[in-house]
């Protein structure tokens, strides 16, 4: 890759973007105008609706004043002038927001109905006498917009209203009435000569007040992630799909620049604009929050607008660069595949949704940076930024997680760029034109003009169909016994889609599903029988070796997350696997491998391999296999298991070795659980070394690891058998 050519393409793309007034406005001008305008609007509406005083009408106020004034006052004052008593407020500003008017009961009720006042308190001779004599009583309180206030029974303590003014009046009046009630209690205690109310409260528990830095450390990473993504969306669509629409892509392709240099130049352009847009958005948002934050605080509150420290801003900018690079690479890869800007927006919207979900994980209570989360591209970066912003000293900085978080980001960025380069090398992707879809004609052509093997699109459609069927079948089979539910889910939800699609969409269904005898790569086991025996021995040996390390890895993950252990224990109780061992082996150890191998190493892997390289097809099919199990905490072990199964399928040309290996692995897990649940009955069987998976010793693990490495390395070095497309 020649840097001079990459720089030329980069500067050319930047100039094109700067000439586009829409780009300048959306990415550079709009962030500087949007947030101040939103701040001004919020400030205006908050001032308009929050600062308006609430008017409270009090009927029978003279009775209260007679009991509160004079030398023999028996009740603490509730009203002073046209306001409530100053002693009932902690701040004078809050007192100004409550205005008091007095009148007769019927007059105030009419004004409340008209909306002239927001709340109404009624005192009569009986209620005042109850207060003076220490008898319990219920205040008569009515609110504006109260539903059936006239029909409310005496003594009822629930008020229903749908009026915003009535709700605001209650929120401001209730603390005043509570403070007045406390003053009445103090007055009664003094009259009786009893200890003060503080006697019953020997100590006070400090209240929790989150520091503004903590609040900002939760919000700031979320904003950085989303701003980095939004800043990369529009430029990526414009430099890729937009260039196709303008007809300038052909000129660029016939230039001396290679396809990788073109992708690098476009990537740097999107990366630059994503970073600038994120910085401008965050800067404008931060300045607006600081400028208008005081408008959000109610009088008397201790609200403080959280503002970042200098170190937090520095760490935010450091992590902004790799995040923007990651999103830029992914957006470029997706935008290259789009035929138009409209289609590019359709492709990139799911990316926004997935990013939002991954970022929300970092905001959940109890989420913290762990080795597992560090491998997730967006979640790991957000959690790392939270830790960096909360660090008070250099010792608190999680230095050990910088590499595990940034390295996967770089790897994912590299893979996305390689995907984009691969698409640039395919003229079918670059020059395909938008076409109208006639569903009927498309289905007829699909069933009439069958290809020997499925396409990558059909492989992905099969995976999506499996997920959908598995979800809905799971709802209908939730009440069935476990083994019956597993049988329905595996046969109808996993095996049926690839088998039907292979029969309907391909001309060689057996070759598509790899339903043939395995072939040994080379050597004396070239005969059909010897080849089958060789693969049988290899698969059984590999299944025995993999079981121990894989179970220990899963146990280590479960030990890291106690909630998973509790969930597994509850799941084991609900399963109630009390059937015969042979039936459990049939339904749990043999049936799932057959169905899953037909789907993932049969139809899906074969379809991906028609367009992608063997390595990429194996990686993607293994990743889909891990996602299909729906357990994020076993994602990595299941992905590694999928890699081994894919190697067995491609090197043997058959599903048989993978099914045997998969069945041995599942069978060991089923037998181990059965022996632990049936300790007494297990004495009738032969000696079993896997009665407790926690007893795997280091010698067994080391020996198993050596066997796994030897077999996997040998499989990786063997050439994949040529696809059986019907020519041979």
The CA distance from 376 to 367, in Å, is 13
Q: State how far the Cα of 82 lies from the Cα of 98, in Å rounded to an integer.
A: 9
Which pLDDT score is estimated for 604? 93
pLDDT band, residue 595 (cuts 50/70/90): very high
Residue 135 CB burial class (10 angstroms; 0-12, 13-18, ≥19): exposed
What is the per-residue pLDDT for 47? 57
Residue entry with tokens 């106690």: 562
Residues 6+ apart with CB under 8 A from 327: 228, 229, 231, 232, 274, 355
- Tell me if 308 sits within 8 A of 316, measured CB to CB: yes
For residue 176, count other CB atoms closer than 10 A to its CB: 18
pTM: 0.60
393 to each of 320, 322, 396, how far by Cα in Å? 22, 24, 5
- Alpha helices of 20-104 — where are they, by DSSP H? 21-23, 30-50, 61-68, 92-96
Specify the 3-state DSSP secondary structure of 56.
Answer: strand
Q: Which residues are registered as beta bridge partners of 59?
A: 103, 122
The sign of the dihedral angle between the CA atoms of 33, 229, 12, 333 is negative
Count CB-CB contacts under 10 A for residue 195. 9
Rounded CA-CA distance 23/170 in Å is: 49
Provide DSSP, 624-649. HHHHHTT-GGGHHHHHHHHHHHHHHH
- Residue 270 · residue 279 · CB < 8 Å: no
For Cα atoms 310, 315, 321, give the angle at the middle one, nearest 5 degrees.
Answer: 130
Which pLDDT band, with edges at 50, 70 and 90, does 357 fall under?
Answer: confident
> For helices 377-390 and 212-239, what crossing angle results, to 10°?
140
| N- to C-terminal Cα separation, the chain | 39
Question: Of 86-95, 328-337, 385-394, where does the model show the most confidence?
Answer: 328-337
- Contact between 561 and 585 (Cβ < 8 Å): no
Q: 658-670: per-residue pLDDT in tens?
A: 999 989 988 887 8
Quote the crossing angle between the two packed helices 377-390 and 402-424, to the nearest 10°.
150
DSSP-assigned states of every residue in 217-230: HHHHHHHHHHHHHH
pLDDT (tens digit per residue) in 240-259: 878 877 777 777 777 788 88
Q: How far apart are CA 661 and CA 532, in angstroms?
A: 13
C-beta separation of 636 from 375 below 8 A: yes
CATH numbers and ranges of domains, the chain: 3-47+211-430 (no CATH), 52-200 (3.40.190), 517-717 (no CATH)
User: Which of 129, 108, 115 shows the shortest CA–CA distance to 54?
Assistant: 115
Distance CA 336, CA 267 (A): 11
Q: Coil, helix or strand for 79?
A: strand
> Which of the four pLDDT bands, split at 50, 70 and 90, describes residue 605?
very high
Give DSSP secondary structure letters for 441-467: HHHHHHHHS-BSS--HHHHHHHHHHHH
Q: How far apart are CA 139 and CA 154, in angstroms?
A: 10
In angstroms, rounded to a whole number, what is the distance separating the alpha carbons of residues 333 and 423?
8
Interatomic CA distance for residues 311 and 390, integer angstroms = 10
Per DSSP, the residues of 139-185 read: -EEEETTBTT-TTPPTT-----B--HHHHHHHHHHHHHHHHHHHHHH
| Distance (Å, whole) CA 450 – CA 505 | 6
Q: 3-class SS at 693? A: helix
**What whole-number distance in Å separates Cα of residue 585 and Cα of residue 276?**
59
Q: Is the pLDDT of residue 498 over 90?
A: yes
Q: How confident is the model at residue 64 (pLDDT cuts 50, 70, 90)?
A: confident
Contacts of 253 (CB under 8 A, 6+ apart): 259, 262, 430
Burial of 643 (0-12, 13-18, 19+ CB in 10 A): buried
Share of the chain above pLDDT 70, in %: 74
pLDDT digits (tens, 9 = 90+) for 435-482: 555 556 656 766 677 788 888 888 989 999 998 888 888 888 877 777
What does pLDDT average to over the chain? 77
Task: Judge whether 601 and 645 are in contact, CB under 8 Å.
Answer: yes
Residue from 535, 515, 518, 488 nearest 603 by CA: 515
Cα radius of gyration (the chain): 36
Q: Is 213 helix (H, G, I), strand (E, B) or coil?
A: helix
* Strands 98-103 and 54-59, sheet pairing: parallel
Query: pLDDT value at position 593?
Result: 92
The C-alpha atoms of residue 369 and residue 386 are separated, in whole angstroms, by 9
Whether residue 690 has pLDDT greater than 70 = no
CA distance 339 to 430: 8
Spell 534-549 as b/e; 16+ CB within 10 A means b: bbeebbeebbbbbbbb
- C-alpha–C-alpha distance, residues 602 and 649, integer Å: 8
Specify whether the CB–CB gap between 665 and 645 falls below 8 A: no
Instruction: Encode pLDDT of 15-33 as tens digits.
Output: 877 777 766 776 667 777 7
pLDDT at 433: 58
């Amino acid at each position: 890759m020649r840097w001079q050519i990459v720089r030329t393409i980069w500067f050319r793309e930047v100039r094109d973007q700067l000439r586009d007034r829409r780009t300048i406005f959306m990415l550079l001008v709009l962030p500087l105008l949007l947030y101040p305008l939103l701040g001004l609007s919020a400030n205006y509406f908050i001032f308009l609706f929050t600062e308006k005083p609430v008017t409270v009408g009090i009927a029978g106020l003279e009775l209260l004043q007679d009991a509160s004034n004079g030398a023999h006052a028996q009740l603490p004052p509730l009203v002073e002038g046209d306001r409530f008593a100053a002693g009932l407020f902690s701040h004078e500003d809050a007192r100004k927001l409550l205005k008091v008017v007095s009148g007769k009961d019927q007059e105030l009720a009419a004004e409340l109905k008209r909306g002239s006042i927001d709340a109404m308190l009624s005192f009569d001779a009986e209620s005042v006498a109850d207060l003076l004599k220490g008898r319990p009583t219920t205040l008569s309180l009515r609110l504006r917009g109260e539903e059936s206030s006239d029909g409310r029974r005496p003594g009822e303590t629930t008020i229903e209203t749908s009026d915003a003014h009535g709700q605001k009046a209650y929120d401001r009046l209730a603390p005043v009435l509570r403070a007045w009630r406390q003053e009445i209690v103090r007055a009664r205690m003094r009259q009786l000569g009893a200890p003060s109310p503080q006697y019953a409260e020997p100590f006070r528990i400090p209240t929790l007040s989150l520091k503004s830095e903590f609040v900002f450390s939760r919000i700031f990473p979320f904003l950085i992630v989303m701003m980095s993504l939004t800043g990369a969306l529009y430029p990526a669509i414009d430099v890729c799909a937009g260039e196709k629409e303008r007809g300038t892509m052909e000129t660029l392709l016939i230039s001396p620049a290679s396809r990788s240099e073109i992708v690098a130049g476009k990537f740097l352009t999107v990366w630059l604009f994503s970073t600038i847009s994120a910085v401008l958005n965050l800067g404008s948002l931060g300045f607006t929050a600081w400028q208008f934050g005081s408008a959000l605080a109610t009088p008397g509150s201790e609200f403080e607008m959280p503002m970042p420290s200098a170190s937090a801003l520095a760490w935010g900018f450091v992590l902004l660069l790799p995040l923007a690079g990651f999103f830029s690479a992914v957006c470029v890869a997706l935008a290259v595949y789009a035929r138009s800007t409209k289609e590019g927006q359709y492709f990139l919207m799911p990316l926004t949704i997935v990013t939002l979900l991954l970022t929300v994980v970092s905001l959940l209570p109890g989420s913290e940076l762990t080795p597992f989360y560090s491998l997730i591209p967006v979640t790991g970066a957000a959690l790392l930024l939270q830790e960096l912003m909360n660090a008070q000293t250099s010792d608190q900085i999680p230095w050990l997680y910088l590499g595990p978080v940034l390295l996967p980001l770089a790897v994912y960025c590299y893979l996305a760029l390689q995907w984009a380069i691969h698409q640039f090398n395919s003229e079918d992707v670059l020059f395909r034109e938008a076409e109208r879809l006639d569903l009927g004609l498309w289905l007829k052509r699909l069933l009439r003009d069958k290809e020997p093997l499925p396409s990558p699109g059909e492989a992905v459609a099969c995976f999506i169909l499996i997920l959908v069927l598995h979800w809905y079948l799971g709802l209908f089979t939730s009440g069935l016994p476990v083994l019956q539910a597993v049988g329905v889910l595996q046969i109808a939800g996993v095996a049926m889609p690839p088998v039907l699609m292979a029969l309907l969409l391909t001309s060689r269904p057996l070759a598509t599903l790899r339903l043939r005898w395995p072939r040994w790569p080379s050597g004396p086991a070239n005969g059909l029988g010897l080849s089958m025996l060789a693969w049988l021995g290899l698969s059984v040996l590999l299944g025995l070796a993999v079981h121990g390390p894989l179970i220990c890895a899963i146990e280590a993950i479960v030990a890291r997350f106690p909630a998973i252990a509790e969930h597994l224990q509850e799941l084991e109780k609900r399963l109630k696997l009390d059937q015969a061992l042979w039936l459990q082996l049939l339904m749990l150890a043999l049936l799932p491998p057959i169905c899953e191998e037909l789907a993932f190493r049969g139809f899906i892997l074969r379809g991906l391999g028609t367009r992608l390289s063997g390595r990429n097809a194996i990686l993607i099919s293994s990743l889909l296999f891990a996602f299909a199990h729906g357990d994020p905490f076993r994602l990595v072990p299941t992905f590694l298991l999928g890699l081994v199964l894919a190697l067995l399928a491609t090197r043997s040309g058959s599903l048989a070795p993978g099914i045997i290996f998969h069945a041995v692995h599942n069978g060991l897990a089923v037998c181990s659980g059965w022996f632990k649940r049936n300790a007494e009955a297990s004495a009738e069987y032969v000696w079993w070394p896997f009665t407790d998976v926690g007893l795997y010793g280091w010698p067994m693990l080391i020996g198993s690891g050596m066997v796994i490495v030897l077999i996997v390395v040998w499989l990786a070095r063997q050439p994949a058998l040529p696809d059986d497309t019907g020519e041979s």
